[in-house]
A and B are shown apart, each in its own frame.
Chain A
Amino acid sequence: MAGVSGAAIEIRDLSKYFVPRRGVMVEAIRRISLSVAAGEFLAIVGPSGCGKSTLLHLVVGLEQPSSGTVRIGGAVPEELVRQHRLGMAFQDSALLPWLSLQANLALPFKLAGRDINRERVQSLIDLVGLAGFERSRPSQLSGGMRQRAAIARSLCLEPDVLVLDEPFGALDAVTRRRLNIELERIWRDNAITTLLVTHSVEEALFLSDRIIVMESPGAIAQELQVPFPRPRTPDLLRREEFHRLADQITLWLEP
């Protein structure tokens, strides 16, 4: 198992509101404070519209806080983005349609102005199980394969923090379960600080060290330390304690 690495995330009194029309203020995040240790896998679950994606956008600098601070390894998110030290994958795999798989994975290097590390690209393709599809276009790959490619791409530049926003949300249940098992295996190899936003309680329990349950609008309701040791194997999904915890969290999610 690879050593723990990555940066710690410190969120202090974070608030975010939007003003979609004049005079109307929508509070998306309400004074959240949160610490994520280096190398920790944190899952964030919550009902639709509770602000989980907004929180993720604030952490990676795609949105600016209205008040409060976000620090990753002591620096602001924009600084890490500028240094190309964040990895992200979203529900839309967003691969460039005119590039092959290989070229898509080479793109982060070009964007960072670095020489393309061909070995790393190939090892990531092998890691996510897409060997043999190097020259395929995204339109020739299935949804699950595209998401695997997107995750591989997010790891290209060896980021300090990995952020996943419902990466498997658009996939069917069977593919999703299979990719959860794969992601666990991938993560063991690159155990960096990871934030996962998901709708699936089982996914959160299987993959993470700690689960945050958010409630609308934008506050943390519950926190749970996941008791299962690593490595997590598929038979965990059948254990009674796993289902008991899943039921408990699902109950917390109900309004």
Chain B
Amino acid sequence: MERRRNQSVVNAAYTILGLGIFLGLWQWAGKSGAAGPDLPPLSDVFATLRDPETLPLLLFSAKYTLVSAAKGLFFGGTLAIFLAAVMHLLPPLRPGLDRLAVLVNATPPIAIGPILIVVFSRSQTPAALAGIQVFFIFYVAATSGLAAASPSLRRVLAGFGANEWKRMLYLEIPAALPQLASGLKASIAASFLGAILGEWFGAPQGLGLMILNAMQNFQIRLMWAAVVSAAAMSLTAFLAAALLEKFVSRRFAT
């Protein structure tokens, strides 16, 4: 226990040190101009973030991106879990759907953007793209999670005469939770990425749109402010998902 606590203190120290070095380098490179005019010092970016003229716009855009990412995560994840559960109960359908999922995953998101605009409208494309990015991760997590229950636990339930619904409810779903929590954590970055990329196809607002516009209008500081905002949101969500994963893994580990 003592060694574990020492180890996490050491890990935290390394994290802070690494972060500090990274941010320090950024500040230095920006101030000295070493990376060119497109990398402003970090202090300038923070000033832009706090600027009362730009802050409302940033928050407004951030909310739109966050909602798109969340929608994509929710619908993509739910569809993936539902399909994985159906496949679990109807094994003959499995190989076909597996191949379809791999195909969707292998297609670069940029390539399907135009299709999504046609199907979903420009304002919903970010959420749709986020959902597609997330789908495969959750599908794999749910499929392997539902198979995670050990043979000896299955044997116990079989011996008590449990049908496949009861087995799923009392054994397979709880046993799948650690995998699902891992899948959620892995999906966070994908959902934000999908939302931001999706906004490049003509969404009315959002951080992705801001990044694009600011870049094209040479508003470098504003562009970086939007990038930092997106990264901060994504990281916060990721940390929350990581905490959830830790808790679920401990509670439901087999």
Contact = CB atoms under 8 A, between A and B. Distances in A.
B164 to A, nearest CB: 12
A96 B161 contact: no
B162 interface: yes
Interface in B147-167: 150, 152-153, 155-162, 166
B161 A62 contact: no
Interface string A5-38: 0000000000000000000000000000000000
A248 to B, nearest CB: 34
Given A97-B254, A98-B251, A98-B252, A108 B153 contact: no
Contact of B159 (A86, A98, A110): A86
A108 B162 CA distance: 9
Interface in B229-254: 251-254
Contacts of B252: 97-98
Interface residue tally of chain B, by bracket? 10 to 19
A98 B166 contact: no
Contacts of A111: 157, 160-162, 166, 170
A84 B150 CA distance: 21
A44 interface: no
A88 B170 CA distance: 18
Contacts of A81: 158-161
B181 to A, nearest CB: 13
Given A110-B170, A111-B170, A94 B160 contact: no
Interface in B77-123: none
B156 A88 contact: yes
Given A90-B155, A92-B152, A97-B254, A83 B161 contact: yes
B173 to A, nearest CB: 11
A245 interface: no
A81 B160 CA distance: 6
Contacts of A97: 252-254
Contacts of A60: 159
Residue from A62, A81, A84, A96 with most neighbouring chain B CB atoms (10 Å): A96
B161 A82 contact: yes
Contacts of B157: 111
A107 interface: yes
A83 B158 CA distance: 12
Interface in B168-197: 170-171, 174
B166 A96 contact: no
B161 A90 contact: no
Contacts of A98: 174, 251-252
Interface string A135-163: 00000000000000000000001000000
Contacts of B160: 81, 84, 107-108, 111-112, 157
Interface string A86-113: 1010101010111000000001101110
A86 B160 CA distance: 7
Given A81-B159, A96-B171, A97-B252, 17 more contacts: A60-B159, A81-B158, A82-B161, A84-B161, A88-B156, A88-B159, A90-B156, A92-B152, A94-B155, A94-B156, A96-B170, A98-B174, A108-B160, A110-B166, A111-B160, A111-B170, A112-B160
12 contacts: A62-B155, A62-B158, A81-B161, A83-B161, A90-B156, A94-B153, A96-B174, A98-B174, A107-B170, A111-B160, A111-B162, A111-B166
Interface of B: 150, 152-153, 155-162, 166, 170-171, 174, 251-254
6 closest residue pairs by CB, A with B: A111-B162, A88-B159, A94-B152, A92-B152, A81-B161, A111-B160
